[in-house]
Chain A
Amino acid sequence: MADRKLRPLYEAIDEGHSKEALQLANKILKKTPDFVLVKALKALALVRSGKEDEASDLCAQVKAAQPIDEPTLQAATMAYKEIGQHDQIVHLYEAAAKLQPNNEEFANHWFMAMVRGKDLKGQQQAALKLHKSFKNNKYLFWAIMSLALQGEAAKGTTPNLSYTLAERMMSKALEEGKVKQTEEIRLYLLILIGQGKRKEALVLLDSDIGQKCLLDPEVRQIYVELMTETNEWTRAFEVSRKVLSEQNSDDWISWKTYFDALFKQIAEDPESEQRKLEEAKALIESTKKSALEASIMKRGPFMAELELDLRLKQDSKIDGATMLEHIKAYFDRFGTKPCCFEDLQPYVNAVLDDTEEISSFINDIRSLVHLETEDTGVKIRNIQKDINVYKLEHYLNTSGSETEQDAVKKVTELWAAYNNALPLGKTLEKTERQYGDDYVVLASHILLKVYRETKDMAFILHALVLLEGALAKSVYNFQFKMLLIRLYLIIGSFDQAHRIFSTMDVKHIQFDTLTHYLTDGSMSLGQFDLLAETLSVACSIYKANEIETPEMIVKAYQYTTFSKIQEFIEFRSRLDQSIQHTLFNIDLARVEALQTSFAAKYGVQFFAELDPSVYPYDDDKLSKLSDNRDYGVMTDCTPKEVTSIEELSRPSKRTNPNWIKIQSLILRTMHNVCDSKCEGLEIASELKAAVTNEAVIKDVTEQDVFLGRFVADVVDGINYLKNAEASQQQKGIELLNSCNLSAFISSQKAMTDSTISWNYFHQTLAEVECVVYGSILSEVIKRTLSLGKKKKSDPAETTDAVSIGNEARAAKISV
């Protein structure tokens, strides 16, 4: 009967008609005021109509009724989730599980609610209870996992009781024959390795049950790692040799282990050196031979040869000439692959040092490129080879002695090479890149470098022309796009950068890792609506993380995939603590502050209502932020010790914790001074300290510092004004009068074609922010004084103090 009555209510909720759902719920509740399920459903409808407080009250009533029927529990859970009160779900199911101790599902829900809420101790207890009541071993391992996580959290404290207990429970379970699955062994391993007990972990894998897990490739990798970490070099050597000779000679991990073990063995027994090295060379030769015969030729053994050379070179046991010959042979064989350049980097570095050697090496490999051929396939491969020569040349030319003319000549040469390659790509799919695209990437890098040296914007424009031209031919080449975005930002064109960015289909997790390419520092470029929209959309990833990731951690428990739980937790917390999220929040607040402050009183209101909690400033909080921004996407042929392309191409300094510190303190100071309930003193002095601290201001621009100082000084003045002592008030007035914007503003030179750039706009934005914040603060001064006036009045002072506001407004008009 109840079902029929409730169906319309359920339907209304499902279809998102919250208003109708509310009416229906109220109607039912009028007749049956204690219908708990309907209360829970009404709570859900309330959250969805934005009435969180009412919903929360109603949920509390539901919880107090201690429901034990699935529909009510479900509805209440959903409502709590959407209000964001995850801890309450725990209580809900804890009560249900207590009332019905035989209901396994309730107890499961109780456990899972604690997993979502990161309550490790609680989940351990729930799991133990589950195990006691329902005897399923899975629950035992849940409890052990919960302990292991507590052990990990308490790492460094001795004794670490959680780890000790977890280990004891695990070894008992093993004795009792309860440990069967690979994932359960993984759980044991992570407990042992977490405590640094590598020898014990190795013993575990050596045991019968451990050996069964070696079917799993990752366990095999852990096995070898444990051998090297416990100095079992003979074993590590044997295992890696076997993998390389019998299974996979393209496996870099095994080659690295093999060489590590080889040289350890030689160090232990110098007599064996000759024999051991011969053995290694023989392995390389035989794997090379099989690679050449295989249907798909892999690079492994050929790169291993270079790696062995490199290690011998470190002990001066090989001459440079031999090594160079191997490098050239590698180039000749794999120069047709784009990654050849990357492959060779560490090896050319080790063997070439003077310019003469370098240029003769470049000449040698250039002679291996054969572009004059009629065979298209061969020609295409040689173009790639040619590109690799250019890249290596660029990489090795560290002297920086190139003149501007040389650079321009090189760019012309690369552009010609690109154009020569174009006809070969006529039949390529739209989704593919033209064969010569990297010529253009390299040419842009060179132009960018010259721009940085000469500050002549013409070079940026030149690069833009080349890149836009080439993008038309390879419409999906994201390397072009990344460069274009950055160059457009340098010239101050946010909408062009945005146009390119929007074709890259950045979404989900990429909102966190890639958005910075477009938005870092872009507030200065003024396109506030476009920027704010980009930021708001990108913020959706953090909500997704809140909702989705806990469910996936729950899933990992359900599938008893213990090897993934720590990883998921780390993933969740890296997104939770993302530095990018804070950066988004700051820029969104700054944009809104400017947009609402067309009249100062709205600005005051905006800052008064600002929630300061999402703007961290203390060093402890800042150091916990996780920087997930991906800086590694752009192709880069510059050597490590030289400024990277990613840095060269950014319009300003990378936003960083100290930048956050200053911006957060500005926002918080403004909040405190605008919200009459707050005392502005402490935060304002934090701001003052930050903008006078050399260690902080080295990470931000002078404009950022100016704004910070200006706000701090004005607020300082205001605080003196609030004092009852006349002398203090006088001091406040003096302070305020010394807050002068005009010098800062007149320092800006007029905009011309050659000065137009991000830097120019950055100064302009700083001026606008100063003026807007100044006028908001002058509104605060007015209010302070009119309050004060009621106590005792001195009209002469009033006019003086307000003059700063007038000055600000005047400046605003001139901007």
Chain B
Amino acid sequence: MSQLRRFKATDLFSFNNVNLDVLTETYNISFYLQYLARWPDLFSVQTTAQGNVMGYVMGKAEGTGKNWHGHVTAITVGPEYRRLGLADGMMDLLEEVSEKTYDAWFVDLYVRVSNAVAIGMYRKFGYSVYRRVKNYYAGTIDEDGYDMRKPLKRDKKRETIRENGENVLVNPEDLDSWR
């Protein structure tokens, strides 16, 4: 149970319970505000009845033609609020807005190939691997990323996804320029 609403700029003052978790990166002001300025309806937060931040999702809409899609930039839930279906609720909302407001073909996201929890979760939500991107996560230890997708209503023939995407290896520079 939670209150799901749009993320507000001033939520940045109180999202620490979520952002202090190691797996959640804290970005500079512009990063968040730019998303809010451009895609205010794709940035949502779940709060407790008392208004404490439990988790949030930020996304955007991008691409051209049949590549026009919703993208999940970050999704995170605070440690004590996991396994309550919050990620599920936020993904639902993001998909709904991508479909109804933006008329997108699909929603996609990137995930570390080692993040089994998240991959399993996205599969449960109806996502499948579209391709594997070599060294998508560059850092001290490079890691490949899966590009996972879920088709929306507009994609009646389910053209934007494919089977066995795990075996389709691409380089980051080969990803479409809109990424």
Contacts and interface: CB of A to CB of B under 8 A. Distances in A.
Interface of A: 215-218, 221, 248, 250-253, 255-256, 295-300, 303-304, 337-339, 342-343, 431, 433, 476, 478, 504-505, 507-510, 512-514, 541, 544-545, 548-549, 551-552, 555-556, 558-559, 561, 563-564, 567-568, 570-571, 574, 628, 630, 632-633, 635
Given A252-B49, A299-B84, A513-B16, A508 B26 contact: yes
Contacts of B96: 217
Contacts of B22: 431, 476, 505
B40 A338 contact: no
Contacts of B108: none
B56 to A, nearest CB: 14
Given A296-B124, A338-B81, A558-B37, 8 more contacts: A218-B5, A251-B2, A252-B1, A476-B21, A548-B33, A552-B30, A552-B33, A567-B9
Max chain A Cβ within 10 angstroms of own Cβ: one of B37, B38, B88: B37
A215 to B, nearest CB: 5
A561 B93 contact: no
Contacts of B14: 513, 630, 632
B154 interface: no
Contacts of A548: 28-30, 33
A216 B28 CA distance: 28
7 tightest A-B CB contacts, nearest first: A552-B33, A338-B80, A571-B9, A555-B37, A478-B20, A556-B37, A296-B85
A252 B2 contact: yes
Interface in B48-84: 48-49, 52, 79-84
B125 to A, nearest CB: 9
A394 B129 CA distance: 47
Interface in B21-47: 21-23, 26-30, 33-34, 36-38, 40-41, 44
B12 A338 contact: no
A574 B20 contact: no
B4 A251 contact: yes
B10 A509 contact: no
A253 B26 CA distance: 28
Contacts of B37: 552, 555-556, 558-559, 561, 564, 568
Contacts of A218: 5-6, 41
Interface in B79-104: 79-85, 88-89, 92-93, 96-97, 100-101
A552 B34 contact: yes
B178 interface: no
A329 to B, nearest CB: 15
B162 interface: no
Contacts of A574: 10, 13
A348 to B, nearest CB: 15
A400 B20 CA distance: 32
A339 B81 contact: yes
B13 A630 contact: yes
A298 B17 CA distance: 21
Contact of B16 (A248, A298, A633): A633
Nearest to B48: A342
Given A339-B84, A552-B30, A571 B10 contact: yes
A339 B8 CA distance: 24
Given A296-B88, A567-B10, A253 B5 contact: yes
Contacts of A248: 4, 89, 92
8 contacts: A250-B1, A250-B2, A337-B83, A548-B33, A549-B29, A552-B30, A555-B34, A561-B37
Contacts of A558: 37
B3 interface: yes
B147 to A, nearest CB: 23
Contacts of B100: 215
A570 B2 contact: no
Interface residues of B, number: 51
Nearest to B25: A505
Nearest to B100: A215
Interface of B: 1-6, 8-10, 12-14, 16-17, 19-23, 26-30, 33-34, 36-38, 40-41, 44, 48-49, 52, 79-85, 88-89, 92-93, 96-97, 100-101, 124
Nearest to B32: A509
Contacts of B33: 548-549, 552, 555, 568, 571
A303 B96 CA distance: 25
A248 B28 CA distance: 33
A512 B12 CA distance: 10
Contacts of B83: 337
A337 B77 CA distance: 14
Contact of B1 (A303, A504, A561): A303
Contacts of B84: 298-299, 337, 339
A138 B119 CA distance: 42
A507 B31 CA distance: 14
Contacts of A296: 85, 88, 124
B29 A433 contact: no
Given A298-B84, A559-B37, A567-B9, A507 B101 contact: no
B29 to A, nearest CB: 5
Contacts of A544: 28-29
Contacts of A252: 1-3, 49
A687 to B, nearest CB: 32
A508 B25 CA distance: 11
A707 B12 CA distance: 37
Contacts of B80: 338-339, 342, 635
A658 B13 CA distance: 23
A514 B15 CA distance: 11
Nearest to A555: B37
B26 A510 contact: yes
Given A250-B85, A568-B9, A507 B26 contact: yes
A406 to B, nearest CB: 27
A217 B4 CA distance: 10
A564 B41 CA distance: 11
Contacts of B13: 509, 512-513, 574, 628, 630
B169 to A, nearest CB: 26
B42 to A, nearest CB: 11
Contacts of B3: 251-253
Contacts of B21: 476, 478
A344 B161 CA distance: 43
A249 to B, nearest CB: 9
B10 to A, nearest CB: 6
Contacts of B29: 508-509, 541, 544-545, 548-549, 552
A51 to B, nearest CB: 29
A508 B30 CA distance: 10
B1 A563 contact: no
Contact of A633 (B12, B17, B30, B48): B17
A556 B79 CA distance: 33
Nearest to A253: B3
B59 to A, nearest CB: 13
B38 A561 contact: yes
A476 B20 CA distance: 9
Contact of A217 (B20, B23, B88, B97): B97
A544 B27 CA distance: 12
